Amino acid sequence: MMFRIPFLTKVLGAGAVGLVLAAGSAAGAGPAINAALASGHSTVTATAKQAASTTARRLGIRARRLVIRSEADVLHLTLRQLRTDVRGGTSVEQLAAKAGMNKSQFTAAVVADLKPRLQKLVQAGKIKQNQADAIIDKVQKGWLPLWTLHPRTAAPGTAAPSASQSPTS
């Protein structure tokens, strides 16, 4: 019966478990569940924290995708073209320089393109207004994914030689 506790907390979440218990539907769910929930809220609290971090991660991923899409639009590229350029080693900074923009001009253009996208998501109920404001604020402070590229030390799938190995060995 102990395997039901994590399953219920993952599937239903902390709030739903509380609602089920308040409604009295879980009275016959088994003594292991009731004892675990009565003994402490550590499982429920840990699950709530995990759910909050998962939600924040999803929002961060969505924000990154939206900003990259706005970067592509400002550069008058499709997402596929931008992806190809970045994989080829060209950073967004270099693409913006080719388009005649510095970082502040590029950031202002990205923010102008991003605001209507975020407003649509707020109106659709996908994100909250304070989350949209936080994304805009972060971009205005200089967060631009793919602006600079981190050089790879070796080709993908190959290990870089260690310091103790000589290039001739």
Cβ count within 10 A of residue 136 = 17
Range in 4-8, 38-42, 77-81, 126-130 the model is least confident about: 4-8
Residue with tokens 């590029």: 106
Q: What are phi and psi of 20, to 5 degrees?
A: -65, -45
For residue 18, name the pLDDT band (cuts at 50, 70, 90): very low
Cβ count within 10 A of residue 75 = 20
Cβ count within 10 A of residue 126 = 13
Q: Among 47, 52, 56, which residue's Cα sits nearest to residue 8?
A: 47
Residue 95's pLDDT is 93
Q: What mean pLDDT do residues 104-128 have? A: 93
Residue 133's pLDDT is 92
For residue 39, name the pLDDT band (cuts at 50, 70, 90): low
Q: Which residues 6+ apart lie within 8 Å of 36 measured at CB?
A: 5, 43
Q: What predicted TM-score, i.e. pTM, was given to this entire model?
A: 0.59
Residue 102's pLDDT is 93
For residue 35, name the pLDDT band (cuts at 50, 70, 90): low
Structure tokens at 68: 């990259």
Report percent pLDDT > 90 for the chain: 43
Q: What mean pLDDT do residues 18-32 have? A: 45
How far from chain centre, in Å, is Cα 110?
19
Q: Which residues 6+ apart lie within 8 Å of 96 measured at CB?
A: 75, 102, 103, 105, 106
More confident residue, 58 or 91: 91
The pLDDT of residue 119 is above 70 = yes
Sign of CA dihedral 91, 95, 97, 103: negative
Distance separating the N- and C-terminal Cα atoms of the chain: 59
The pLDDT of residue 71 is above 90 = yes
Torsion of CA 7, 10, 14, 15, to 10 degrees: -110
